[in-house]
Amino acid sequence: EIMTGLCREEPEQLKWQEDLILAHERVGHVLREQRQFEGTLEAYESALAIQRRLSRAEPDNLLGQSDLARVLTFVGSIHRELEQFTRAMERFREALVILERLCEEEPENPLWWHDLADLHQEFAVTHRERDDLESTLASDRQALSNYEHALRLEPSNEQWQLDVAMVAAIIAWSI
Residue 70 above 90 pLDDT? Answer: yes
pLDDT at position 88 over 80: yes
In the predicted structure, residue 37 carries a pLDDT above the cut 70? yes
- 53/74 Cα distance (integer angstroms): 17
Tell me the average pLDDT across 97-105. 98
- Say how many CA atoms lie within 13 Å of 81 toward its Cβ: 17
Determine contact, residues 170/133, Cβ cutoff 8 Å: no
How many other CB atoms are there within 10 angstroms of residue 53's CB atom?
14
Q: Give the pLDDT confidence score for residue 18 in this predicted structure.
A: 82
Identify the band that residue 10 occupies on the pLDDT scale cut at 50, 70 and 90. low
Q: What is the mean pLDDT of the segment spanning 67-81?
A: 97
Give the per-residue pLDDT at 17. Answer: 72
Residues 147, 54: Cα–Cα separation, whole Å = 29
Check residue 3 and give its pLDDT: 52
Residue 155 has pLDDT above 50, yes or no: yes
pLDDT tier at 7, thresholds 50, 70, 90: very low
Torsion over CA of 69, 49, 78 and 24, rounded to 10 degrees? 100
